Structures are given as structure tokens and as C-alpha cells.
Amino acid sequence: MRQFFILLRKELRSFFLSPLAYVIIALFTFLNGWLFSSIVTAMRMKVNQHSLVYNLFDSGWFWMGYFFLFPLLTMRLFAEEKKLGTLETLLTAPVRTAQVVLAKFVATTILYIVIMLPIFAFFFLFEDITGESAAFQKGAFYGAAAILLLVGIFNIAIGCFASSLTSNQLIAAMITFVVVVLHYFLGFIHYFGAKLPAELLAKVTYFSTVEHRHLFTEGLIDSRPVIYYLSSAVVMLFLTHHVLERRRWQS
């Protein structure tokens, strides 16, 4: 446990002392600030049955920026250590591989939360200035935060795994991007006119981030998606651990 905190602190430190973190925070906040103000404008022009929170997270622009976040956040985690050779010094110190994986995962999740905070600050600011509520119910607000956290954890775990597979950060980033985007669009499959049997369609809905988001941002928190994202993240981290330990297996 002590080792975990030592590693976590080191990971956070190297995040927050690197320019990359600030570039990501600045770009992402800028993109969402722009999106936020155009949605507020649009809602003033045309009556809309949804809340501001719902509209923002329903925007394709938001998700486009969002998908670029994960490759950028996770590509260096293991790939860089492999490239530099520091994985060897790290894993020949008396630490468990699981501690290393968890420290990197948790540090990235913390950075992810920091990156998401400005969006929620926008909502508070909006409510403060206009006196209007950004979401129709308080629940929708928490729902939006919860689904973003769940999807984020899931995507970060995918990024961890991709980064453990290679010493090339670019390849890790590409794998993460493709998997994250494919998973997201799986939920859209019936919008593309694919003729699926009803039974399969119901199954797809179970994996569909889009459906989950609709529910959560309406304030309906369902336990099935929670279990789905968390257990998938655990599987991904387990696979990461597996990849890192493989060199130590005895035939």
C-alpha cells in the first residue's frame, strides 16, 4: 500500500510537471467553453425540450474532443517506460506489478477528473449568473457526472492496456483511439440502418454508451451500466497486469 502511494505521487508529479497535461486541459476547456456558449445561444434562439446539461453532452463536438483525451492521457503510461528501459528498474525494485498498474491507472483517473472539472464549473457559473438551472433536476447533474466518470474509467483502463502492449506511444495511442471510438459507435449501430434482430439489438444497447448517457443525463441512474463499466475496467487492468507479468512466466 505504501509503495502504491509512492508510485502514485511520482505519476501525478510527472503529469503535472509536464507541459502536455496543461496543453490538454487548456484545449479541452477551450473547446467545451466554445461549445457551451454556442449551445446557450442556440437554446435562446429555439425552444428545446432538453436541459443545458443534456444538450451539451448530446453534442457530437463534445464527444469528438472527448475521444482524443484518452490516447493522449494514456499513451505514455507503459510505452514510455518500455522505450526508456525504466520498466526494468521499476519492476526489479521490490514492488508488485499490481501496485504499478493501479498507481498509473489512479493517477490518470485523477488527471481526467481535473480535466473534467471546468465543464461542471461552467454549469455552476451559468446557474449563478442567470439564476436558471442548467439541468432540470439535481439528479441529472449527478447522473451526467457519474456517466462521465464511468466511461472515463473504462476508457483509461483500455488505454493502460494498449500502452502495455508496445514501446511505441503512437501505436498505443492509435489502439486506444480505435477501441474507444468503436465501442462508442457500437451504441449507434441501429441508427446506421443496420437491420439487426431485436434480440441482438437489446444486447447491443446493454453496451451502448449512448443509451447509458441518455438515461443518466435524465437523472436515471441504473446499476447495470455501473457494473458494466467497472467490471470491464477491472478486466482491462487485469489484462495489463498479465501482459507485464508475462516475461516472468515459467514455461
Partner 1 sequence: MISVRNLTKRYAGHTAVDDISFEVDRGEIVGFLGPNGAGKSTTMRILTCYLSATQGAASVGGFDTFKDSIEVRKRIGYMPENVPLYDDMRVKEYLHFRAQLKGLRGRSARRAAGEAMDTCSLQDVRRKMIGTLSKGYRQRVGLADALVNKPELLILDEPTNGLDPNQIRQVRELIKHLGERHTILISTHILSEVEMTATRVIIIDKGRIKASDTPQNLIRRLHSSGTVHMEVKAKPKQVIEKIETLSDIKNAIHIGTSQGWSTIDVHAFSNVDIREQLSSLAQEQNWPLRELYRDTASLEDAFVDITRS
Nearest distance from C-beta of residue 163 to partner 1, angstroms:
16
Q: How far apart are CB 160 and partner 1 at their closest, in Å?
A: 19
Q: Where do contacts with partner 1 occur on this chain (CB under 8 A)?
A: 2-3, 6-7, 10, 14, 17-18, 84-86, 88-89, 91-96, 247-251
- Of 11 and 218, the one with the shorter C-beta distance to partner 1 is 11
DSSP 102-163: HHHHHHHHHHHHHHHHHHHHHHHHHHHHH-S-SSSSHHHHHHHHHHHHHHHHHHHHHHHHHH
- Which residue type is seen at 178? V
**Nearest to partner 1 of 44, 247 (CB atom):** 247
Minimum gap (Å) between residue 20 Cβ and partner 1:
11
Close Cβ partners of 187 (under 8 Å, ≥ 6 residues apart): 204, 205, 207, 208, 209, 210, 211, 212
Nearer to partner 1 among residue 8 and residue 140 (C-beta)? 8
Least distance CB 7 / partner 1 (angstroms): 7
How many angstroms separate the CA atoms of 223 and 164, rounded? 30
Q: Note whether 101 and 241 are within 8 A (CB).
A: yes
Nearer to partner 1 by Cβ, of 127 and 245: the residue is 245
How many angstroms from the chain centroid is the CA of residue 73?
Answer: 9
- Taking the complex as a whole, how short is the minimal distance between the CB of residue 155 and partner 1, in angstroms? 25
**In terms of CB distance, is 107 or 134 closer to partner 1?**
107
